[in-house]
Amino acid sequence: MARSKYMGHEEDMDFKVELYKKQGLSDIQISHNLGISKTTFYKYLKRYPSFLAAYKRGRVEIIEQLENAMYKAALGGFVEEVVTEIKVDNKGEVKSKYIKKTKKYLAVNVVANIFLTTNLNGAKYKRNPDLNPMVDNSQVIELEFVNEEKRNED
């Protein structure tokens, strides 16, 4: 049986898989960057607990970043943007370097707001209120039915 690329390089492979997952790479991209097939990548996840743990750590971090970004987008408001500007002369030498900070206003992202409220408080913000157990629509239907009967009687 051939020796695994993982054996002898555990720490390096664990570090790389965590880093690649933090960067948001897909499993196929990660396996390509590690120089292994997709099938071998999934075998490593099953066979080596430290590899799986590194993969999960990277995945958790990217999910947290996405959640934070969505939360900020849903609320809107001011954000600080930091840009580092470097001026280089004709010879390629750095002439000056300074950091420029600006405040920008982000408008409320309504889609992010709806998504978060629906998921955080589904009972109150359910998409289909007819299916919501908190709302009793039977009385409304009965009233409409009674009013329709009275119209027919007149």
List the chain pLDDT tens, one digit each, 154 residues.
Answer: 556 777 767 888 999 999 999 888 999 999 999 999 999 999 999 999 999 999 999 988 888 888 888 888 888 888 888 888 888 888 888 888 888 899 988 888 888 888 888 877 777 776 665 555 555 555 544 445 545 555 556 5
What tokens were used for 134? 């908190």
Neighbours of 121 (CB within 10 A): 10
pLDDT of residue 154: 54
pLDDT of residue 133: 55
Spatial contact of 36 and 15, defined as CB atoms under 8 Å apart? no
pLDDT of residue 143: 47
Ramachandran angles phi, psi of 72, nearest 5° = -65, -40
pLDDT of residue 45: 93
Tokens 């954000």 sit on residue: 79
What tokens were used for 135? 């709302």
pLDDT of residue 3: 65
pTM above 0.75, yes or no: no
